[in-house]
């Protein structure tokens, strides 16, 4: 059983940065991949970034070069560093482990607006 808690969202101006955190409790977090998803109003949930247990990473084309996913296994935490944020990045961001039928956090709101 894994519990995930996201934090770090907020309101930021276009071009700004935020760092999201996903802190896990329970067993198995460090040996499995973790994903960040986002869901904007009226849109389907979108996979943003993935990090494997060995810290290999993949990104959606829309965030490549701007977002960086990383993990600190000693802290049971995965991060999403988001730079050069744009209004289209506005969404609720969710941490996930185990795929769509796996474990989800409650989400953290990111709003990019001037």
pLDDT in tens, 36-67: 999 999 999 999 999 999 999 999 999 999 99
- What per-residue confidence (pLDDT) applies to 94? 98
- What per-residue confidence (pLDDT) applies to 77? 95
Question: What distance in Å separates the CA atoms of residue 23 and residue 31, rounded to the nearest whole number?
Answer: 14
Block means of pLDDT (10 residues each) for the chain, 114 residues, are 94 98 87 94 96 96 98 94 98 94 96 97
- What per-residue confidence (pLDDT) applies to 111? 98
Alpha helices (runs of H) in the chain, residue ranges in sequence order: none
- What per-residue confidence (pLDDT) applies to 41? 92
Q: For residue 85, which phi and psi values (nearest 5 degrees)?
A: -65, 145
- What per-residue confidence (pLDDT) applies to 64? 98
Tell me how far the alpha carbon of residue 93 is from its chain's centroid.
6
- What per-residue confidence (pLDDT) applies to 3? 93
Q: Specify the DSSP element, H or E, that contains 11.
A: strand 10-12
- What per-residue confidence (pLDDT) applies to 56? 97
């Amino acid at each position: 059983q894994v519990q995930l808690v996201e934090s770090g969202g907020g309101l930021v101006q276009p071009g700004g940065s935020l760092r999201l955190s996903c802190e896990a409790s329970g067993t198995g977090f460090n040996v499995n991949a973790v994903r960040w998803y986002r869901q904007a109003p009226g849109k389907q949930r979108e996979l943003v970034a993935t990090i494997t247990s060995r810290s290999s990473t993949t990104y959606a084309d829309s965030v490549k070069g701007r977002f960086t996913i990383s993990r600190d296994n000693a802290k049971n935490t995965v991060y999403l560093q988001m730079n050069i944020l744009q209004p289209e990045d506005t969404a609720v961001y969710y941490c996930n482990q185990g795929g769509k039928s796996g474990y989800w956090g409650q989400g953290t709101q990111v709003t990019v607006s001037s």
